[in-house]
Structure formats: structure tokens, C-alpha cells
Amino acid sequence: MKFIIFDIDGTLADTKKVEDQCFMQAFENTFHLDITNQKWEDFKNVTDWGITEDIIFKEFNRKPTEAEYEAMISNFTNLLKIEKERDNSQYSEISGAKSFFDTLVNNNEFKLGIATGSWEASAKIKLEAIDISLEGICFSNSDHHKTREAITNDVIRQMKGKTTETPEDIIYFGDGAWDFITCRNIGIRFIGIDNESNGKLKALGAKTVFRDFRNHDSIIAELTKKA
């Protein structure tokens, strides 16, 4: 058995643009700060929790309060819902993602998980939009952990708890530099999704990168290689 873990934004869901737009607007609504010039790759923890904490600490020399986190999450998810209602095309799948995900769900050789730096409520909005169900899927997010390493390890722990088999390989699909670095840090295999064809993952050293999930056979062949 192999454990297969997916990121969401830019990997399963083509939602990075609307995600960023709504996150920045929610930040301004909640904290009255303009963060439109922030680059996510500059943060140590590229998660909703980590980014929010780092910016508030930098600006005010303190961590956000629980009430501020709750307000930020509420503002963010409300904006995502408004944008989804206004223009549902902003919530499309990465080509072939839903079909590929379902193929793996129905294959007993694989156990699936989703590890995202998004907060849980926002993650669910995006997954529902591309018709990917969390039923039976191990799932962790930024509600529970600040670092991507902790989020991914949480999913792995959940997956191990649902089987008596030792995984022969653990593979993570992601699109960001932070995904690649996380996999390197915790020692699992990385497969990149480069939907924008910008070559950044290859430049970082990722050995296996696909543009999307349309070529099922090639990706399955990569998954079935020995670790």
C-alpha cells in the first residue's frame, strides 16, 4: 500500500487567484492592513495560520487574539462564498484532478489524504466546488497546525491509524516551493503540479513534475515505481 497526499490550491483546485484575492481583502477587513505586496514564499510557514501570525507579530509585536482569528476566518470564508456565487468559474479543478482522485479512491493499492495550509472552512468550500468528497479521506489543515510539516505529518498519522499495513511509500502532490521543501524536510516523495508551466519546481530540484492530471497512465506509472 502507498499513501498519496494532496495539497488543494494549485494542485487539485485552480483557485489560487481567488484564494489570494479573498485572503488579502479579509486581512484588510479584519486588521485594517494592506498586504497586497506580500509574497507568500517569503514566509517561514506558508499556511493561513502562519501567515496571519507572522504579519500581526511584525506589525504589532504580538500574536493575533482568538477573536481576531475567528473574525479573519469568518471574513475570509464569507468572501470566498460571495465570489463563488458571483463567478463559479473561479473554482475550477486542475485539469483531470477529480477523475484522477476518484481513480485512486477506488484502488485498494492507495490510501488518500489531503494536507492543506488553508483553514478548514475555506478548504471545504474549494473541495466542494470541484466535487471532491472528504468522506473516508484523512484530512488536516491550518485550523490544527501552523506548519506544513505538522499538517502533513498529522495526515500521515491518521492514515497509519486506519491500516495495519506499513506504507511502502508516501507521496505528496503539490504545486508550491513550500510543498517541495516540506516533503524534503520530512523525507517523503514529492510529485509537482505545474499548472502555470513556470518551471519553478524543476528549478528547485523536483524530479517529477506534471502540468495537470490528464495523463492518468503516466502518473499512475510514477506512483507505482518503487520508493
Q: Residues 3-55: pLDDT tens digits? A: 999 999 999 999 999 999 999 999 999 999 999 999 998 999 999 999 999 99
pLDDT of residue 32: 97
**How many Cβ atoms from other residues are within 10 Å of residue 28's Cβ?**
14
**Residue among 220, 149, 211 nearest 183 (CA):** 149
pLDDT class of 225 with cuts at 50, 70, 90: confident
For residue 210, list its beta bridge partners: 193
Q: Is the confidence at residue 71, as pLDDT, over 90? A: yes
Distance CA 117, CA 219 (A): 24
| Nearest by Cα to 134 from 110, 115, 157, 119 | 115
Categorize the per-residue pLDDT at 213 as very low, low, confident or very high, splitting at 50, 70 and 90.
very high
The model's pTM: 0.96
